[in-house]
Chains A and B, each alone.
Chain A
Amino acid sequence: MKIFFTVLSLFHLMVAPAYSQEDGLSGSDTGKTLYVQEETLQPSSAVEDNDPFEPVNRVIFGLNDVLDTIIFDPISAVYTEVLPQVVREHIGYVLRNLSEPIVFANNILQGEMQDAEDTLRRFLINSTVGVAGIFDVSTSLDIPYKKEDFGLTLGRLGFGAGPYIVIPILGPSNLRDACGRIVDFAGDPINWVAYFADSIFYSNSRTSAQIIDAKSDSEIVADLKKNIDPYATFRTWYSERRKHLIAKGEHQTIDSPRPDDDD
């Protein structure tokens, strides 16, 4: 039984809304040495992605795409078809509410006491007045949800992203964030409750629900897939997204096109 749980856990720890909400990729150093002959050309910073496992990653990315097409897209389609948007939204709230304890833990680890207080209030209010999280009362009380995870905590502590990794089923990640997921899973009190109660059913349904929830409302992700090289697009998307989340609202001047003399 416990072994079964462990296997499930491994699967589960990778879950959490995989694409749209929270992911972003890796660092900006090292990169490809494959194209050395370019010394003569102007170096262009963001072309370098820390992706030493690119061939393997591309294979997993391809497999994930196949899995999406033959398994998750049909499930999402049925899910979206059967349940009205309002219901799906509230399912999303319940799942999000269950993730608040781990967000709280990360708030504490980051020393963000105000955030910790907000998260705790959210969890208490939504779990009671919001009927087990079905209603997100807190947001209407002006305490909006702020996602945190251990990958972000590590990032703020100054850990680099490490090499880019594509995780089976869940997609884009990097060494730091993948470790973060493991810690988040192991540290999630709700998982511990399920573990001691031997509630495979619970853990199983939460996992499936999270996957379906994450995959069913991601228009942006669907758009990215139409690009010429979706793999490269997702890699940058993930990286930039995580950088943005780590910076946490603090404004950064992003490298962008700008006027120059000959246009």
Chain B
Amino acid sequence: MKKFIVLFVSLFIWTQGVNAEITRAKAEAFMSEIGEKVIYLLTDNSISDQERADQFREILETKFNVKAIAKFVLGRYWKQASEEEKERFLNLFTETTVASYATRFKEYTSERFDILGSRSESDEGVTVSTQIVRPNGPPIPIDWKIFEKNGEIRIYDVILEGISMSITQRSEYASVIQKGGGQIESLNLALEKKLMTPKK
């Protein structure tokens, strides 16, 4: 009986694999290219902060589907927002993301980015598992959720040690909006304020 189950399961996995093979290979190649770029940004100390931020913004805008992510993190408030508010939020969201990652990058020196594998998800996306190997401390496992739409491959979520950045961000933003009386504008103001405060 057990053997049958094993056989069945492996058959299932195998056929699943065959169906999604191309996308998975593509997704891995896509991630590996980005990984190289990011590692270069991380380790090259000759790049100025401004340049690093600019390059990171470019990666964000061309390799991530920022709009879909912004929509997700606003959750139910997205529908409530006016076009103007949405646009403002999208800008602020991009800028705060760039700001927080660009400063984070600065702390790294000699990292390596490894692709560990990938799997097709039931929602037709592919999750690519990677890790950042650091000289000090254990490697950081990061998964990337990738979809292909209209021939464009984009990252839709970053999962750090099993925790989705989008889900974390969504509940934070929801909390900020709720405290602000359900107004998206209160979140926009908070993000704006955060951008204005100089980083420590």
Given A38-B76, A42-B76, A44-B75: A263 touches B67 (CB 8 Å cut-off): yes
Does B50 interact with chain A (Cβ within 8 Å)? no
User: Chain A's interface: helix, strand, loop or mixed, by majority?
Assistant: loop
Contact A237 B168 (CB under 8 A): yes
A244→B160 CA distance, assembly (Å): 11
B26-34, B35-43, B52-60, B120-128: which lies at the interface:
B120-128
Does B170 interact with chain A (Cβ within 8 Å)? yes
On chain A, the number of residues with a Cβ less than 8 Å from chain B's Cβ atoms is: 43
Does B65 interact with chain A (Cβ within 8 Å)? yes
Given A35-B178, A43-B76, A259-B149: A254 touches B164 (CB 8 Å cut-off): yes
Contacts of A220 in B (CB 8 A): 160-161
Does A142 interact with chain B (Cβ within 8 Å)? no
Contact B147 A232 (CB under 8 A): no
A228→B166 CA distance, assembly (Å): 15
Contact B76 A229 (CB under 8 A): no
Contact flags A75-98 to B (C-beta < 8 A → 1, else 0):
000000000010000000000000
Among the listed B127, B164, B175, which residue makes an inter-chain contact with A232, where contact means beta carbons less than 8 Å apart? B175
Does B194 interact with chain A (Cβ within 8 Å)? yes
- Give the Cβ gap from B160 to chain A, nearest Cβ, in Å: 7
Interface set, chain A 231-263, CB cutoff 8 A to B:
231-233, 235-237, 240-241, 243-245, 247, 251, 253-260, 263
Contact B176 A257 (CB under 8 A): no
Contact A240 B167 (CB under 8 A): yes
Contact B76 A254 (CB under 8 A): no
Q: Which residue of B lies closest to A263 (CB)?
A: B67
- Give the Cβ gap from A221 to chain B, nearest Cβ, in Å: 12
Query: Chain A residues in contact with chain B, CB under 8 A?
Result: 24, 32, 34-35, 38, 41-44, 46-47, 49, 85, 217, 219-220, 223, 226-229, 231-233, 235-237, 240-241, 243-245, 247, 251, 253-260, 263
Query: Chain B residues in contact with chain A, CB under 8 A?
Result: 65, 67-69, 71-73, 75-77, 79-80, 100, 104, 107, 119, 121-123, 125, 127, 136-137, 145, 147, 149, 154, 156-157, 159-164, 166-168, 170-172, 174-176, 178-179, 182, 187, 190-191, 194
10 cross-chain CB contacts under 8 A:
A47-B75, A47-B170, A232-B176, A233-B168, A235-B171, A256-B123, A257-B72, A258-B125, A258-B147, A260-B71
